[in-house]
Chains A and B, each alone.
Chain A
Amino acid sequence: MSDAIQTDLTVRPPSLSARISGSTIRIVSRLGQEPLGMAGFVILAVLCVVAILAPLLAPYDPNIQVLSDALQPPSAAHWAGTDEFGRDILSRLIYGTRITVQTVLSISLIVGPIGLLIGVVAGFFGGRTDALLMRATDIVLSFPSLILALAFAAALGAGLTTAIIAISLTAWPPIARLARAEALVVRNADYVAAARLYGASPLRILFVYIAPMCIPSVIVRLTLNMAGIILTAASLGFLGLGAQPPAPEWGAMISSGRKFMLDYWWVAVMPGVAILITSLAFNVAGDALRDILDPRHARS
């Protein structure tokens, strides 16, 4: 061995912060090689900053109606114009990032763990458990998702929370399937066999060995799904079941703006551009993440 053995160094469990900073540095340095992916992450970061600083950044109150100023084209006073109630579209877009971030985060936080858990349990335990869980997954998957969302909105009353629940309910099966496929591969890995040999309990194997291997692809998939989720939320808005007025939800803005598309293009186009950029950012970032986190793609 060429490495000198350093005797004075004691072994300590690596601290959490060290681990996180370690992997962050790794990811960021890899990102440096992917300008497009980097751009995606930068946009998402900007989005988060805007969401946090919305009150400071927005030139107007997003809900103040000045009916006499309705439907003004973009100008120095209103960079993105005004909507049919004379509200400043830019301010609404800025506040809307909060809703978008909130939607996206909560859906990820619901869908990710649920999908991961179901998939990993099914994949790892196999047999009856697997069959049962996958059947359930299939059923949910085959349920027309918009209809389920509509039904939920009807049952719980329309609103952002309902929309989030409804979307989450239909969004976990693909994640579960993905996690299961991954778990099926991982559970046959030698390190899992070794863990069995030294007596690690099944639960420990499940959570410490298998789940972490599935997380990257789940994260990647979630990121890639985000665009779709924003759009589904917009479609619910189109049907009046998303965020309730006057919430400046982008999808709702687009869908109420569509009534003016032919004459006042900016009302629908501005939120459309916001959605487009965000979902492009999510997609591009997701792709980059995949290349970084997912060894199968990194290999080529």
Chain B
Amino acid sequence: MMIEVRDLNVTFSSGKRQNHVVRDISFSVARGETLGIVGESGCGKSTVLRCLSGMEKGWSGEIALAGRTVGKSRSLDDLKCAQMVFQDPYGSLHPRHRIGTALAEPLRAMGRQEIWRTVERSLRQVGLPAAFANRFPHELSGGQRQRVAIARALILAPPILLLDEPTSALDVSIQAEILNLLADQRDEMGLTYVLVSHDLAVIAHMCDRVLIMQDGRFVDELSKRDLQDGKTHDDYARELFEATFI
């Protein structure tokens, strides 16, 4: 198993009111598998991803990535296991760093050599010309930016990629390009994905298995087959399903 999560709980305590956002979640993802998580806004999807990536410190439970149990603060090696792609391509690149710098940063942080060659290669990998290294993010379109973000996540060659609504800020036509790119990379490098989205169509297209989340819990699990057949086991999942395909 590439990812194993057991009894994950997250509680935000803001003031008097405690906010139990993720409740007793357990799941696992096999190597090469793509797991989708859907649910309405605020149900805790991103929080789960943030726990996996290590951005969220306030969780309890057990998380193992690529076979090693990880704690709340991650070592550089832990970080290398999983990288993340964010929703907003406009916010995930530093506006004053050139693309080349943005891609070189992870390599520098990890103390790698041959930085610029790697940068060049990874730009090609996501279908961008090497000359883009000298551009600023604002000189790129949204889709191109998301490519750069994916390149940056992949440049450290992590086995796991966490995708938080990677296409919801993009047009359908661009979305198709990005989804294709993601699928290609997965197949080429044998990556494991966890994809969060509220767009069931995207999830269904990409994922082998879908978890449906409501109020911090998983209420349903659907296989690719189920999705094609429109089969659900839970009322909420049914509702969601119908709303998507009006």
Q: Which residues of A does B touch, CB under 8 Å?
A: 1, 3-7, 9-14, 18, 189-191, 193-201, 204, 208-209, 212-213, 295
Contacts and interface: CB of A to CB of B under 8 A. Distances in A.
A213 B94 CA distance: 9
- Say whether chain B's binding surface is mostly helix, strand, loop, or mixed: helix
A197 B133 CA distance: 21
A194 to B, nearest CB: 6
Contacts of B101: 13-14
Contacts, number: 98
Contact of B105 (A4, A6, A198): A198
A208 B87 CA distance: 23
Interface stretch (B2-10, B62-70, B119-127, B224-232): B119-127
A197 B153 CA distance: 9
A197 B84 contact: yes
Interface string B141-169: 00000000100110010000000000000
12 contacts: A5-B127, A5-B130, A12-B116, A13-B100, A13-B101, A13-B116, A14-B133, A190-B86, A190-B87, A194-B84, A197-B84, A198-B105
A116 to B, nearest CB: 15
A13 B107 CA distance: 13
Contacts of A209: 94
Contacts of A14: 98, 100-101, 133-134
Contacts of B131: 6, 9
Contact of A191 (B76, B92, B130): B92
Contacts of A194: 84, 86, 92, 149, 152-153
B109 A11 contact: no
Nearest to A212: B96
Given A191-B91, A193-B86, A198-B109, A3 B100 contact: no
A199 B79 contact: yes
Contacts of A196: 54-55
B116 A11 contact: yes
A11 B152 contact: no
A204 B79 CA distance: 17
Contact of A197 (B54, B87, B94): B54
B106 interface: yes
B192 interface: no
Given A193-B86, A194-B153, 10 more contacts: A5-B127, A7-B130, A9-B130, A13-B101, A193-B55, A193-B84, A194-B92, A197-B79, A198-B79, A198-B110
Interface of B: 53-55, 76, 79, 83-84, 86-88, 91-96, 98, 100-102, 104-106, 109-110, 116-117, 119-120, 123-124, 127-131, 133-134, 149, 152-153, 156
- Say whether chain A's binding surface is mostly helix, strand, loop, or mixed: loop
Nearest to A196: B55
A254 B102 CA distance: 52
A295 B96 CA distance: 12
Contacts of A4: 129
Nearest to B143: A1
Nearest to B102: A191
Contact of A5 (B91, B100, B129, B152): B129
B163 to A, nearest CB: 13
Contacts of B153: 194
Contacts of B123: 11
A197 B110 contact: no
Nearest to A186: B94
Closest 4 A/B residue pairs (Cβ): A198-B106, A190-B92, A11-B120, A11-B133
Given A194-B84, A199-B76, A201-B109, A13 B130 contact: no
A11 B119 contact: yes
A5 B55 CA distance: 35
A23 to B, nearest CB: 9
B70 to A, nearest CB: 13
B100 A189 contact: no
Given A9-B131, A11-B120, A11-B133, A197 B83 contact: yes
Nearest to A213: B96
A261 to B, nearest CB: 49
Nearest to B123: A11
Nearest to B129: A5
Contacts of A10: 116, 120, 130
A191 B109 contact: no
Contacts of A201: 109
